[in-house]
């Protein structure tokens, strides 16, 4: 099977030739950037360089997809008015001033077409380049933050959480504008011919909010967004890297896959709860094991995870979230090699 056939079979809960290996954002960026002599700063501004960097992740690591989106969690909020600054070192930008400083500022927010924004348009234009170059063989995955995640970078996360309790109308007003802008992103992605979209939703966790508030704000707008993406024919991956993820609330939305860190869940129960509902993208611990562990330890964890899932379709293996900038390349490659070794059907 081609990587695209393998990847999409798993998302459809069909039997691939082996367990696919999922690549997220710009994991292990140190090796990618040094290999081709490019910088993150250049990629943010130039779709050709962005695409070149993405292609290099595939050449260096050999995972089954490329992702036309990185882990800055700011590009959408910046398009909607949040100011940012780039650090002196070559890394993602940081917020310097949130767009919604006061509740009244929510009235100033306007729906944005990502293709008309200087920076948000870059990964979309890069996705078109990637789709034309490798899209027939390798899945190009679009990438967007969920409405709640974007809202946290428009208002400041603590302020947004306070709004959900004290000013729910303000919170919903912000999240509605964000959701409508995100739908347009899906429109543009579908026009390019990209077939899968990854939605970062690490705000849906019990360490951050109650299940009731999560349902009223986070899940409500995520549901609206996912329904639109599905109507466009996009396959959907919901990513949740929170410490205590509300997997059951997200699985009720029926995405094609849910991506989680296996150290944050009861793995047996999670696999059982998602069985027959959607694909499980089991994330190997990226913060300690992938970063500080040995390649042999990574292999052992991949093997154990595949064995615990069992010989049935609907599994991918990946890191638990974006791999650290300096994650050892031996560990990055061993994760793929282990899935190839132990994940054959």
pLDDT in tens, 179-206: 999 999 999 999 999 999 999 999 999 9
Q: What is the pLDDT of residue 61?
A: 98
Q: What is the pLDDT of residue 163?
A: 97
Q: What is the pLDDT of residue 88?
A: 83
Work out the percent of the chain whose per-residue pLDDT is above 70.
100
Q: Where are the domains of the chain?
A: 3-342
For residue range 71-102, list pLDDT tens digits in order: 999 999 999 999 999 998 899 999 999 999 99
Q: What is the pLDDT of residue 231?
A: 98
Q: What is the pLDDT of residue 225?
A: 98
- Which residue in this structure is represented by tokens 């208002």? 155
Q: What is the pLDDT of residue 298?
A: 98
Three-state SS sequence of the chain: CCHHHHHHHHHCCCCCCECCECCCCCCCHHHHHHHHCCCHHHHHHCHHHHHHHHHHHHHHHCCCCEEECCCCCCHHHHHCCCEEECCCCCCCCEEEECCCCCHHHHHHCCCCCHHHCCCCHHHHHHHHHHHHHHCCCCCEEEEEECHHHHHHHHHCHHHHHHHHHHCHHHHHHHHHHHHHHHHHHHHHHHHHCCCEEEEECCCCECCCCCHHHHHHHHHHHHHHHHHHHHHCCCEEEEEECCCCECHHHHHCCCCCEEEEEHHHCCHHHHHHHHCCCCEEEEEECCCCHHHHCCHHHHHHHHHHHHHHHCCCCCEEEEECCCCCCCCCHHHHHHHHHHHHHHCEC
CATH class given for the domain over 3-342: alpha beta
Which residue ranges in the chain fall short of pLDDT 50?
none
Q: What is the pLDDT of residue 89?
A: 86
Quote the CA–CA distance of 268 and 282 in Å, as a whole number.
11
Find out whether 123 and 102 touch, Cβ atoms under 8 Å: no
């Amino acid at each position: 099977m081609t990587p695209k056939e393998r990847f999409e079979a798993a998302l459809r809960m069909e039997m691939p030739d082996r367990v696919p290996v999922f690549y997220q954002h710009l994991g292990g960026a140190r090796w990618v950037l040094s290999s081709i002599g490019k910088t993150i700063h250049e990629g943010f501004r130039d779709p050709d360089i962005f695409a070149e960097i993405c292609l290099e992740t595939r050449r260096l690591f050999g995972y089954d997809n490329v992702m036309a989106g990185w882990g800055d969690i700011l590009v959408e909020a910046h398009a909607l008015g949040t100011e940012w600054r780039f650090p002196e070192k070559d890394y993602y930008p940081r917020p310097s001033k949130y767009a919604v400083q006061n509740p009244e500022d929510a009235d100033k927010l306007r729906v944005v077409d990502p293709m008309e924004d200087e920076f948000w348009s870059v990964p979309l234009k890069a996705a078109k380049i990637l789709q034309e170059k490798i899209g027939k063989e390798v899945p190009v995955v679009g990438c967007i933050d969920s409405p709640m995640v974007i809202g946290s970078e428009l208002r400041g996360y603590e302020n947004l959480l306070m709004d959900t309790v004290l000013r729910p109308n303000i919170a919903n007003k912000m999240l509605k504008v964000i959701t409508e802008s995100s739908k347009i992103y899906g429109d543009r992605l579908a026009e390019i011919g990209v077939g899968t979209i990854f939605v970062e939703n690490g705000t849906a966790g019990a360490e951050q909010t109650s299940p009731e508030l999560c349902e009223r704000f986070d899940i409500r707008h995520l549901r609206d967004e996912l329904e639109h993406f599905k109507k466009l024919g996009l396959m959907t991956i919901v990513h949740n890297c929170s410490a205590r993820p509300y997997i059951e609330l997200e699985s009720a939305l029926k995405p094609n896959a849910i991506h989680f860190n296996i150290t944050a869940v009861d793995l047996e129960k999670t696999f059982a709860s998602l069985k027959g509902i959607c694909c499980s993208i089991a994330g190997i611990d990226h913060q300690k094991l992938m970063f500080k562990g040995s390649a042999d330890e990574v292999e052992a964890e991949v093997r154990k995870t595949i064995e615990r899932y069992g010989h049935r379709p609907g599994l991918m293996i990946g890191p638990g979230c974006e791999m650290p900038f300096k994650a050892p390349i031996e560990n990055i490659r061993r994760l793929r090699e282990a899935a190839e070794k132990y994940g054959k059907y």
